[in-house]
Structure 1
Amino acid sequence: MTVRDLPPVSDLTEQQQRGWSCVWCGTALTVGEDQDLGEKRARPEGGAAYSWFPRACSDTAACARREQGQAL
């Protein structure tokens, strides 16, 4: 697995922040067909810290194609 920096949490949808959708391509995820990236903490300027739970597609090649807008 290639290590990638996570996108800024402020750029993500609620579904991506909660781990319902891939943090990179936005595809809806199902248990067992995903990679749990672990609990992360966000500390917004002027706001309270909170946890978010990024997950990613287990098929990294397909994820990369979706992220780039290419057909599978």
Structure 2
Amino acid sequence: MTEYQRRGWSCVWCHAVLDAAGAVSLGQQRVVPREGAAYSWFPRACADKTACVTREEALR
């Protein structure tokens, strides 16, 4: 997962760059690794699911 995806700047599924109007928040996620410090990440996805699926298929 890219930094853009972890920060909610791009879609977690299709990698499209997102803005506030074109995104759905997937909620703050907290990760507690076995080693190292805990951290939060903020995934978001495209609001237009059909376009997202089309872009995701193009990445394959």
TM-score of the superposed pair, with normalisation by structure 1: 0.76
Shift of 1:47: 1.5
- Which residue is equivalent to 2:10? 21
Unaligned runs of 5+ in 2: none
Q: Is 1:64 aligned with 2:58?
A: no
Give the CA RMSD over aligned residues. 1.2
TM-score of the superposed pair, with normalisation by structure 2: 0.90
- Which residue is equivalent to 2:22? 33
Unaligned runs of 5+ in 1: 1-11
Inter-partner Cα distance in structure 1 for 2:32 and 2:14: 24
- Same amino acid, percent of matched pairs: 54
Higher normalized contact order (CA 8 Å, seq sep 6+, divided by chain length): 2
Aligned length: 59
Moved over 4 A (4+): none
Inter-partner Cα distance in structure 1 for 2:5 and 2:34: 21
